[in-house]
Chain A
Amino acid sequence: MSIEKPIPSVLAMLLCDVILTDIAPTSKKTLVGIFDRFWTDQLPVAAPGFVLYAKLTDMAGQYQMRVDVVNLHDEQRLASFTVSVESPADRLQPFEFVVRFPPGLKFDGPGAYEFQLYADEAFIGRCVVNVEKKEVLQ
């Protein structure tokens, strides 16, 4: 990353069930079912589909955005992907980075799992989901 190119700032980073997007011209987003934990009665568990939403600013040009999903207990990376994004023309205009995870991301055990966001290999933000086992009452 060159010195001139700003490092994006993360204004918000959240996990939610689904995002509703208004039609143009507003394209406003509604985040439904914001969560920071998964309850499950069995482990390992395959998570249902969900969405990672990040609002960024101070971007200029193209960035390689990477998301790693890391089990903080054993420092294992469960998933990783990189995508190229182009910033808005105005450097300070907010940029919404939306990732829809399909069902199936597997969590092996209880504990904290972190979604780590990188821009051109620089760590810029994180959000955590706690996986907890809940006994089902018979």
Chain B
Amino acid sequence: METEQFVLNVQRCEIQVKRTKEALPFPRTMLLGSLSDPRVRVTRPIPVEITRAEGSVVASVPEFEEFGQGDTSSEALQDLSRSLAELFLSLRQDQERLGSDLHRLLGRLQSYLAFVALK
């Protein structure tokens, strides 16, 4: 890994930036702090696993058995973000009719996500 330092101006203070050529590892874990759907807000960061499989990148949340796929980790994260939002919104909409398993799943999702009523 090559590293080089340069000075950056952020909020009127100077900080050192690490300029690198560092390959991001696979698999790796990251925290997802926002979803693409404005109706869904992340209240607690969601642990996400990023892996490579058959030439594409997969972002998954094992706890919810949800995943997203793409050519890059960014695309995979966006796909996962859409899947999580759709799952949460559909379960929330049908919560009166859910069986016990899906009700528990909604409860687990609600420990990370909240619904935002758009004006």
Interface residues of A (CB under 8 A from B): 1, 3, 6-10, 70, 72-81, 83, 85, 97-102, 104-106, 112, 114, 118-126, 128
Interface residues of B (CB under 8 A from A): 6-11, 13, 15-24, 26, 30-34, 41-45, 72-74, 77
Contact present for A121 and B31 (CB under 8 Å): yes
Q: Could you tell me the distance between the alpha carbons of A8 and B22 in the complex, rounded to whole angstroms?
A: 27
Query: Distance (Å) between the CB of A46 and the closest chain B CB?
Result: 11
The 3 A-B pairs with the shortest beta carbon distances in the complex, nearest first, are A122-B33, A122-B45, A100-B9
| Chain B residue with the shortest CB-CB distance to A101 | B8
Interface of B is mostly: strand
Contact present for B8 and A78 (CB under 8 Å): no
Contact present for B6 and A75 (CB under 8 Å): no
Contact present for B11 and A98 (CB under 8 Å): yes
Contact present for B18 and A79 (CB under 8 Å): yes
Contact present for B42 and A7 (CB under 8 Å): yes
Q: Could you tell me the distance between the alpha carbons of A20 and B30 in the complex, rounded to whole angstroms?
A: 35
Contact present for B77 and A123 (CB under 8 Å): yes
